[in-house]
Amino acid sequence: MNSLSVRVAVVQAAPRLFDRNSALERIAGSLREAAALGARLVVFPETFVSGYPRGLGFGAKIGSRSQEGRQLWQRHWESAIELPGAETLLIGQAVREAGVYAVIGVVERAAEFSRSTLYNTIAYFGPDGSLLGKHRKLMPTGAERLLWGQGDGSTLTVVDTPFGRIGGLICWENYMPLARMAMYAKGVDILVTPTADARDTWQSTLRHIACEGRCFVLSANQYATAEDYPDDLPGETGPASGEDVCRGGSAIVGPLGDYLAPPLYGESGILYADLDLGEIARSRFDFDAAGHYNRPDIFRLEVDERPKAAVRFTPASGAHLSERQENPE
Protein backbone atom coordinates (compact mmCIF):
# COMPACT_ATOMS: atom_id res chain seq x y z
CA MET A 1 0.00 0.00 0.00
CA ASN A 2 1.44 3.37 -1.05
CA SER A 3 1.57 6.17 1.51
CA LEU A 4 2.40 9.80 0.81
CA SER A 5 5.41 11.17 2.66
CA VAL A 6 6.47 14.77 3.14
CA ARG A 7 9.57 16.26 4.70
CA VAL A 8 9.01 19.06 7.20
CA ALA A 9 11.40 21.37 9.00
CA VAL A 10 11.18 23.22 12.33
CA VAL A 11 13.52 26.16 12.84
CA GLN A 12 14.99 26.80 16.29
CA ALA A 13 16.69 30.21 16.25
CA ALA A 14 16.19 33.82 17.31
CA PRO A 15 16.68 37.17 15.61
CA ARG A 16 18.26 40.14 17.31
CA LEU A 17 15.46 41.50 19.49
CA PHE A 18 13.52 44.40 17.92
CA ASP A 19 15.62 44.06 14.75
CA ARG A 20 13.26 43.37 11.87
CA ASN A 21 16.04 43.11 9.28
CA SER A 22 17.79 40.48 11.38
CA ALA A 23 14.60 38.43 11.48
CA LEU A 24 14.02 38.72 7.74
CA GLU A 25 17.60 37.69 6.97
CA ARG A 26 17.36 34.64 9.23
CA ILE A 27 14.04 33.65 7.68
CA ALA A 28 15.53 33.75 4.18
CA GLY A 29 18.63 31.80 5.23
CA SER A 30 16.67 29.12 7.08
CA LEU A 31 14.24 28.71 4.20
CA ARG A 32 17.11 28.19 1.75
CA GLU A 33 18.77 25.66 4.03
CA ALA A 34 15.58 23.69 4.69
CA ALA A 35 14.51 23.67 1.04
CA ALA A 36 17.95 22.42 -0.03
CA LEU A 37 17.41 19.40 2.23
CA GLY A 38 14.00 18.65 0.73
CA ALA A 39 11.60 20.27 3.21
CA ARG A 40 8.21 21.27 1.83
CA LEU A 41 6.90 22.85 5.04
CA VAL A 42 9.03 25.08 7.29
CA VAL A 43 7.82 26.29 10.70
CA PHE A 44 9.33 29.21 12.65
CA PRO A 45 8.91 30.11 16.35
CA GLU A 46 6.45 32.41 18.08
CA THR A 47 7.06 36.14 17.34
CA PHE A 48 10.14 35.39 15.24
CA VAL A 49 9.59 38.82 13.69
CA SER A 50 10.96 40.65 15.62
CA GLY A 51 11.76 38.57 18.70
CA TYR A 52 10.13 37.55 21.98
CA PRO A 53 10.99 40.15 24.67
CA ARG A 54 11.46 37.64 27.46
CA GLY A 55 12.37 39.17 30.81
CA LEU A 56 11.54 42.77 29.94
CA GLY A 57 9.04 44.70 32.06
CA PHE A 58 8.40 47.73 29.85
CA GLY A 59 8.41 49.93 32.94
CA ALA A 60 5.00 48.69 34.03
CA LYS A 61 3.69 48.35 37.56
CA ILE A 62 0.12 48.14 38.79
CA GLY A 63 -1.14 51.68 38.44
CA SER A 64 1.83 53.20 36.58
CA ARG A 65 3.96 53.07 33.44
CA SER A 66 7.36 54.74 33.08
CA GLN A 67 8.54 56.96 30.25
CA GLU A 68 11.40 54.53 29.60
CA GLY A 69 8.85 51.75 29.28
CA ARG A 70 6.87 53.77 26.76
CA GLN A 71 10.05 54.30 24.73
CA LEU A 72 10.72 50.58 24.76
CA TRP A 73 7.14 49.89 23.72
CA GLN A 74 7.61 52.27 20.78
CA ARG A 75 10.65 50.24 19.73
CA HIS A 76 8.63 47.04 19.95
CA TRP A 77 5.84 48.66 17.92
CA GLU A 78 8.25 49.91 15.25
CA SER A 79 9.72 46.42 14.79
CA ALA A 80 6.28 44.89 14.15
CA ILE A 81 4.91 44.25 10.66
CA GLU A 82 1.56 44.49 8.91
CA LEU A 83 -0.16 41.55 7.22
CA PRO A 84 -0.29 42.21 4.35
CA GLY A 85 2.40 44.85 4.08
CA ALA A 86 5.84 45.65 2.73
CA GLU A 87 7.58 43.06 4.91
CA THR A 88 4.99 40.47 3.88
CA LEU A 89 6.19 40.91 0.31
CA LEU A 90 9.81 40.46 1.36
CA ILE A 91 9.01 37.29 3.30
CA GLY A 92 6.87 36.08 0.40
CA GLN A 93 9.78 36.54 -1.98
CA ALA A 94 12.04 34.40 0.22
CA VAL A 95 9.32 31.74 0.52
CA ARG A 96 8.77 31.75 -3.24
CA GLU A 97 12.49 31.33 -3.91
CA ALA A 98 12.54 28.35 -1.55
CA GLY A 99 9.33 26.92 -3.04
CA VAL A 100 7.92 25.73 0.30
CA TYR A 101 4.97 26.29 2.59
CA ALA A 102 6.04 28.40 5.57
CA VAL A 103 4.47 29.20 8.93
CA ILE A 104 6.09 32.16 10.66
CA GLY A 105 5.42 33.78 14.04
CA VAL A 106 5.28 37.58 13.86
CA VAL A 107 4.34 40.58 15.96
CA GLU A 108 1.58 42.06 13.82
CA ARG A 109 0.61 45.73 13.74
CA ALA A 110 -3.12 45.92 13.10
CA ALA A 111 -3.70 47.88 9.91
CA GLU A 112 -7.50 47.75 10.08
CA PHE A 113 -7.81 49.65 13.37
CA SER A 114 -5.72 52.48 14.82
CA ARG A 115 -2.41 50.77 13.92
CA SER A 116 -1.42 51.05 17.58
CA THR A 117 -2.57 47.60 18.71
CA LEU A 118 -0.18 44.69 18.21
CA TYR A 119 -1.00 41.00 17.94
CA ASN A 120 0.96 37.80 18.45
CA THR A 121 0.29 36.19 15.08
CA ILE A 122 1.30 33.28 12.89
CA ALA A 123 1.33 33.86 9.14
CA TYR A 124 0.85 31.13 6.54
CA PHE A 125 2.66 31.41 3.20
CA GLY A 126 2.29 29.26 0.08
CA PRO A 127 5.10 28.09 -2.23
CA ASP A 128 4.29 30.94 -4.61
CA GLY A 129 5.01 33.42 -1.82
CA SER A 130 1.39 34.39 -1.28
CA LEU A 131 -0.01 35.08 2.19
CA LEU A 132 -2.57 32.30 2.63
CA GLY A 133 -3.90 33.38 6.01
CA LYS A 134 -3.04 34.23 9.58
CA HIS A 135 -3.97 33.41 13.15
CA ARG A 136 -3.94 35.90 16.02
CA LYS A 137 -3.33 34.53 19.50
CA LEU A 138 -6.70 34.45 21.24
CA MET A 139 -5.37 35.08 24.74
CA PRO A 140 -1.94 36.57 25.39
CA THR A 141 -0.44 34.88 28.45
CA GLY A 142 0.32 36.74 31.68
CA ALA A 143 2.30 39.94 31.11
CA GLU A 144 1.99 39.45 27.33
CA ARG A 145 -1.40 41.14 27.71
CA LEU A 146 0.39 44.43 28.21
CA LEU A 147 1.90 44.10 24.72
CA TRP A 148 -0.63 42.32 22.54
CA GLY A 149 -4.35 42.41 21.94
CA GLN A 150 -6.72 39.43 21.89
CA GLY A 151 -7.44 37.73 18.60
CA ASP A 152 -10.91 36.54 17.63
CA GLY A 153 -12.51 33.54 15.99
CA SER A 154 -12.13 34.93 12.48
CA THR A 155 -8.48 33.83 12.38
CA LEU A 156 -8.90 30.20 13.44
CA THR A 157 -7.26 29.46 10.11
CA VAL A 158 -6.59 26.14 8.42
CA VAL A 159 -4.74 25.80 5.13
CA ASP A 160 -5.26 22.99 2.63
CA THR A 161 -2.06 21.65 1.08
CA PRO A 162 -1.25 18.65 -1.13
CA PHE A 163 -0.02 16.85 2.00
CA GLY A 164 -2.85 17.60 4.40
CA ARG A 165 -4.60 20.37 6.26
CA ILE A 166 -2.40 22.66 8.38
CA GLY A 167 -3.61 24.71 11.34
CA GLY A 168 -1.99 26.31 14.33
CA LEU A 169 -2.34 27.48 17.90
CA ILE A 170 0.27 29.62 19.63
CA CYS A 171 1.98 28.50 22.83
CA TRP A 172 -0.47 28.35 25.75
CA GLU A 173 -3.50 28.55 23.47
CA ASN A 174 -2.80 24.84 23.26
CA TYR A 175 -3.93 24.56 26.88
CA MET A 176 -7.39 25.80 25.83
CA PRO A 177 -9.42 22.59 25.28
CA LEU A 178 -12.07 24.26 23.16
CA ALA A 179 -9.48 25.92 20.91
CA ARG A 180 -7.91 22.52 20.30
CA MET A 181 -11.31 21.02 19.57
CA ALA A 182 -11.99 23.80 17.07
CA MET A 183 -8.82 22.79 15.22
CA TYR A 184 -9.75 19.10 15.31
CA ALA A 185 -13.23 19.94 14.00
CA LYS A 186 -11.60 21.75 11.07
CA GLY A 187 -9.85 18.52 10.14
CA VAL A 188 -6.28 19.54 10.98
CA ASP A 189 -3.68 16.93 10.00
CA ILE A 190 -0.58 18.93 10.90
CA LEU A 191 -0.86 21.19 13.94
CA VAL A 192 1.86 23.83 14.27
CA THR A 193 2.53 25.16 17.77
CA PRO A 194 4.99 28.08 17.69
CA THR A 195 5.92 28.69 21.31
CA ALA A 196 8.08 30.48 23.86
CA ASP A 197 7.74 27.69 26.46
CA ALA A 198 11.01 25.86 27.06
CA ARG A 199 9.90 23.89 30.13
CA ASP A 200 9.98 20.10 30.29
CA THR A 201 6.20 20.10 30.78
CA TRP A 202 5.74 21.60 27.30
CA GLN A 203 6.90 18.30 25.86
CA SER A 204 4.08 16.53 27.71
CA THR A 205 1.67 18.98 26.10
CA LEU A 206 2.94 18.27 22.59
CA ARG A 207 2.70 14.51 22.99
CA HIS A 208 -0.75 14.71 24.55
CA ILE A 209 -2.09 16.91 21.73
CA ALA A 210 -0.65 14.58 19.10
CA CYS A 211 -2.45 11.64 20.73
CA GLU A 212 -5.65 13.60 21.29
CA GLY A 213 -5.85 15.08 17.81
CA ARG A 214 -4.27 12.09 16.05
CA CYS A 215 -2.25 14.63 14.13
CA PHE A 216 1.37 15.56 13.58
CA VAL A 217 2.54 18.32 15.93
CA LEU A 218 5.36 20.66 14.90
CA SER A 219 6.58 22.89 17.73
CA ALA A 220 9.10 25.68 17.07
CA ASN A 221 10.77 27.63 19.88
CA GLN A 222 13.54 30.20 19.87
CA TYR A 223 17.03 29.52 21.12
CA ALA A 224 17.93 33.01 22.35
CA THR A 225 20.96 34.26 24.25
CA ALA A 226 21.96 37.56 25.83
CA GLU A 227 23.81 38.40 22.64
CA ASP A 228 20.46 38.56 20.83
CA TYR A 229 19.43 41.53 23.02
CA PRO A 230 20.27 45.17 22.19
CA ASP A 231 22.76 46.91 24.45
CA ASP A 232 20.53 49.96 24.85
CA LEU A 233 17.29 49.00 26.58
CA PRO A 234 15.78 52.11 28.20
CA GLY A 235 14.95 51.49 31.85
CA GLU A 236 15.81 47.77 31.62
CA THR A 237 18.68 45.57 32.69
CA GLY A 238 19.19 43.00 29.96
CA PRO A 239 20.35 39.41 30.52
CA ALA A 240 23.92 38.75 31.58
CA SER A 241 26.45 38.11 28.84
CA GLY A 242 26.57 34.46 27.84
CA GLU A 243 23.18 33.68 29.39
CA ASP A 244 20.70 31.45 27.58
CA VAL A 245 17.49 33.46 27.66
CA CYS A 246 15.47 30.66 26.06
CA ARG A 247 16.93 27.17 25.75
CA GLY A 248 14.67 25.98 22.91
CA GLY A 249 12.90 22.63 23.01
CA SER A 250 11.55 22.52 19.45
CA ALA A 251 10.26 19.07 18.50
CA ILE A 252 8.23 17.06 15.98
CA VAL A 253 5.71 14.49 17.23
CA GLY A 254 3.73 11.82 15.38
CA PRO A 255 -0.02 11.11 15.68
CA LEU A 256 0.49 8.45 18.36
CA GLY A 257 2.66 10.66 20.52
CA ASP A 258 6.08 9.40 19.49
CA TYR A 259 8.94 11.78 18.76
CA LEU A 260 9.92 11.98 15.11
CA ALA A 261 12.49 14.63 16.09
CA PRO A 262 13.18 14.86 19.84
CA PRO A 263 13.47 18.24 21.55
CA LEU A 264 16.56 20.28 20.78
CA TYR A 265 18.05 22.25 23.67
CA GLY A 266 20.92 24.67 24.10
CA GLU A 267 21.61 25.49 20.48
CA SER A 268 20.17 26.84 17.27
CA GLY A 269 19.31 24.39 14.52
CA ILE A 270 16.71 22.99 12.17
CA LEU A 271 14.84 19.78 12.95
CA TYR A 272 13.67 17.55 10.10
CA ALA A 273 11.23 14.68 9.84
CA ASP A 274 9.65 12.70 7.02
CA LEU A 275 5.95 12.46 7.81
CA ASP A 276 4.18 9.28 6.72
CA LEU A 277 0.76 10.77 6.08
CA GLY A 278 -0.88 7.36 6.10
CA GLU A 279 -0.20 7.36 9.82
CA ILE A 280 -3.01 9.89 10.28
CA ALA A 281 -5.67 7.47 9.05
CA ARG A 282 -4.10 4.54 10.88
CA SER A 283 -3.98 6.45 14.15
CA ARG A 284 -7.66 7.43 13.90
CA PHE A 285 -8.75 3.81 13.58
CA ASP A 286 -9.53 3.71 17.29
CA PHE A 287 -9.85 7.40 18.18
CA ASP A 288 -11.07 10.45 16.25
CA ALA A 289 -11.84 13.40 18.54
CA ALA A 290 -14.03 15.17 15.98
CA GLY A 291 -15.43 12.01 14.40
CA HIS A 292 -16.47 8.59 15.68
CA TYR A 293 -15.21 9.28 19.23
CA ASN A 294 -17.22 12.49 19.44
CA ARG A 295 -20.64 12.65 21.13
CA PRO A 296 -22.45 15.63 19.55
CA ASP A 297 -25.69 14.39 21.08
CA ILE A 298 -24.19 15.25 24.49
CA PHE A 299 -21.55 17.90 23.83
CA ARG A 300 -21.68 20.82 21.42
CA LEU A 301 -18.99 23.31 20.45
CA GLU A 302 -20.02 26.67 19.02
CA VAL A 303 -17.32 28.90 17.53
CA ASP A 304 -18.03 32.52 16.65
CA GLU A 305 -15.81 33.21 13.63
CA ARG A 306 -17.03 36.75 12.98
CA PRO A 307 -14.35 39.49 13.07
CA LYS A 308 -14.61 41.57 16.21
CA ALA A 309 -13.66 45.17 16.91
CA ALA A 310 -14.23 46.96 20.20
CA VAL A 311 -15.19 50.15 18.37
CA ARG A 312 -15.69 50.73 14.68
CA PHE A 313 -16.13 54.20 13.13
CA THR A 314 -18.57 54.81 10.29
CA PRO A 315 -17.42 57.96 8.44
CA ALA A 316 -20.70 58.49 6.60
CA SER A 317 -22.70 58.94 9.77
CA GLY A 318 -19.95 59.94 12.16
CA ALA A 319 -21.26 57.23 14.49
CA HIS A 320 -19.24 54.80 16.59
CA LEU A 321 -20.74 51.31 16.58
CA SER A 322 -19.78 48.54 18.93
CA GLU A 323 -19.51 45.08 17.41
CA ARG A 324 -22.54 43.93 19.35
CA GLN A 325 -24.56 46.82 17.95
CA GLU A 326 -23.31 46.09 14.46
CA ASN A 327 -24.04 42.36 14.70
CA PRO A 328 -26.98 42.11 17.12
CA GLU A 329 -27.90 38.71 18.46
Query: Is 46 an active-site residue?
Result: yes
CA distance 277 to 189: 9
Query: Is 137 an active-site residue?
Result: yes
Q: Which of 87, 108, 134, 171 is an active site residue?
A: 171
Tally: H helices and E strands in the chain: 7, 17
In the chain, what is the straight-line distance between the N-terminal and C-terminal CA atoms, in Å?
Answer: 51
Amino acid, res. 126 = G
From the list 70, 13, 78, 47, the residue with the least C-alpha distance to 271 is 13
CA distance 298 to 40: 40
Distances (CA, A) of 113 to 74, 82, 118, 164: 17, 12, 10, 34
Q: Which of 46, 87, 108, 279 is an active site residue?
A: 46
Query: Is 212 an active-site residue?
Result: no
Which residues, including other chains, have CB under 8 Å from residue 237's CB and lie 6 or more apart?
none
Q: Is 294 helix (H, G, I), strand (E, B) or coil?
A: coil
Amino acid, res. 21 = N
Q: Which of 87, 108, 137, 173 is an active site residue?
A: 137
Catalogue the active-site residues: 46, 137, 171
